[in-house]
Structure 1
Amino acid sequence: MATTTIEAKVMEIFEHLHTHPETSWNEVETTEFIKNILIDSGCKVRTFDDCTGVVGEIGDGKPVVGIRADMDALWQEVNGKFQANHSCGHDSHMTMVLGVLLSIKEMESIPNGTIRFIFQPAEEKGNGALKIIEKNVVDDVDYLYGVHLRPIQEVENGMATPALFHGAAKHIDGEIIGEDTHGARPHLGVNAIEVGSELVQKLSHIHIDPMVPHSVKVTKFLAGGESSNIIPGNATFSIDMRAQTNEIIEKLATSVEEAVQSISDYYHVPINLSVESMMASAIVDPEAKDIMADSIKKVLGAENLVAPVTTSGSEDFHFYTLKKDHIKATVLGLGCDLKPGLHHPNMSFDHKMIIPGVKILTNTILSTLEHKGVKE
Structure 2
Amino acid sequence: MNVTIQKLTPQLQKIFQHLHANPEISWQEFNTTDYIQSLLEKENCKITTFDDIPGLIVEIGSGKPVVALRADIDALWQEVDGEFQANHSCGHDAHMTIVIGTILNLLRSDVPLLGTFRFIFQPAEEKGTGALALVKKGIVDDVDYLYGMHVRPIQELPHGKFAPAIRHGAACFMKGEIIGEDAHGARPHLTANAIQVGSEFYQHLNQIQLNPMVPYSAKLTSFQSGGKSINIIPGSATFSIDIRAQTNEAMFELMNQIHKISEMLAEYHEVKIKLETVSNVAAAIINDDAVKKMKKAIIDSVGEDNLARIIETTGGDDFHFYTIKRPDLKATMLAIGCDLAPGLHHPDMTFNHESIPKSIEILSNVLINTAKAQS
Aligned residue in 2 for 1:339? 341
Q: Does 1:292 align with 2:294?
A: yes
With over 3 angstroms needed to count, the CA separation of the structure-2 counterparts of 1:367 and 1:334, relative to structure 1, is: same
Aligned residue in 1 for 2:84? 82
Q: Give the C-alpha shift of residue 42 in structure 1.
A: 2.3
- The answer to whether the 8 Å contact 1:59/1:115 transfers is yes
- 5 Å matches for 1:249-328? 249-328=251-330
Letter in 2 for 1:222: Q
Q: Give the C-alpha shift of residue 233 in structure 1.
A: 1.2
| Deviates further, 87-96 or 182-191 | 182-191
- 5 Å matches for 1:1-376? 3-372=5-374
Letter in 2 for 1:62: K
The C-alpha deviation readout for 1:122-145, integer Å capped at 9, x for no partner, is 100011100010111100110000
What secondary structure, in the 3-state scheme, does the structure 1 residue paired with 2:293 have?
Answer: helix
| Deviates further, 65-74 or 215-224 | 215-224
Q: Give the C-alpha shift of residue 3 in structure 1.
A: 4.2
The C-alpha deviation readout for 1:118-177, integer Å capped at 9, x for no partner, is 000010001110001011110011000001000011001111101000001111110111
The C-alpha deviation readout for 1:214-272, integer Å capped at 9, x for no partner, is 11111111111122222111111111111111111011111111110000011110111
Letter in 1 for 2:113: P
The C-alpha deviation readout for 1:288-322, integer Å capped at 9, x for no partner, is 11111111112221101001011111110000111
Letter in 2 for 1:275: T
Q: Give the C-alpha shift of residue 111 in structure 1.
A: 3.0
Partners of 2:169 and 2:310 in 1: how far apart? 13
Partners of 2:47 and 2:104 in 1: how far apart? 15
Letter in 1 for 2:165: A
Partners of 1:3 and 1:274 in 2: how far apart? 47
* TM-score where L is the length of structure 1: 0.97
Q: Give the C-alpha shift of residue 12 in structure 1.
A: 1.2
Partners of 1:318 and 1:3 in 2: how far apart? 29
Letter in 2 for 1:226: K
Letter in 2 for 1:311: T
- The answer to whether the 8 Å contact 1:337/1:349 transfers is yes
The C-alpha deviation readout for 1:45-98, integer Å capped at 9, x for no partner, is 111121111111111111100100001100001111111100000000000000
Partners of 2:250 and 2:229 in 1: how far apart? 42
- The answer to whether the 8 Å contact 1:21/1:85 transfers is yes
RMSD: 1.2
Q: Give the C-alpha shift of residue 109 in structure 1.
A: 4.2
Partners of 1:323 and 1:118 in 2: how far apart? 16
Q: Give the C-alpha shift of residue 187 in structure 1.
A: 1.6
What secondary structure, in the 3-state scheme, does the structure 2 residue paired with 1:227 have?
Answer: coil
Partners of 1:242 and 1:110 in 2: how far apart? 44
What secondary structure, in the 3-state scheme, does the structure 1 residue paired with 2:328 have?
Answer: coil
Tell me, which stretches of 5 or more residues in structure 1 are unaligned? none
* TM-score where L is the length of structure 2: 0.97
Partners of 1:79 and 1:244 in 2: how far apart? 33
Q: Give the C-alpha shift of residue 2 in structure 1.
A: 5.2
What secondary structure, in the 3-state scheme, does the structure 1 residue paired with 2:28 have?
Answer: coil
Partners of 2:135 and 2:228 in 1: how far apart? 45
Q: Give the C-alpha shift of residue 359 in structure 1.
A: 0.8
Partners of 1:215 and 1:135 in 2: how far apart? 33
What secondary structure, in the 3-state scheme, does the structure 2 residue paired with 1:298 have?
Answer: helix
- The answer to whether the 8 Å contact 1:157/1:337 transfers is yes
Partners of 2:40 and 2:279 in 1: how far apart? 30
Letter in 1 for 2:322: Y
Partners of 1:16 and 1:120 in 2: how far apart? 18
Partners of 1:251 and 1:3 in 2: how far apart? 47
Letter in 2 for 1:325: P
| Deviates further, 178-187 or 254-263 | 178-187
- The answer to whether the 8 Å contact 2:5/2:101 transfers is no
Q: Give the C-alpha shift of residue 4 in structure 1.
A: 3.8
Partners of 2:134 and 2:20 in 1: how far apart? 23
Q: Give the C-alpha shift of residue 108 in structure 1.
A: 3.2
- The answer to whether the 8 Å contact 2:193/2:235 transfers is yes
Partners of 1:106 and 1:354 in 2: how far apart? 18
Letter in 2 for 1:68: R
Partners of 1:226 and 1:183 in 2: how far apart? 13
- The answer to whether the 8 Å contact 1:104/1:110 transfers is no
- The answer to whether the 8 Å contact 1:175/1:236 transfers is yes
What secondary structure, in the 3-state scheme, does the structure 1 residue paired with 2:356 have?
Answer: helix
Q: Give the C-alpha shift of residue 5 in structure 1.
A: 3.3
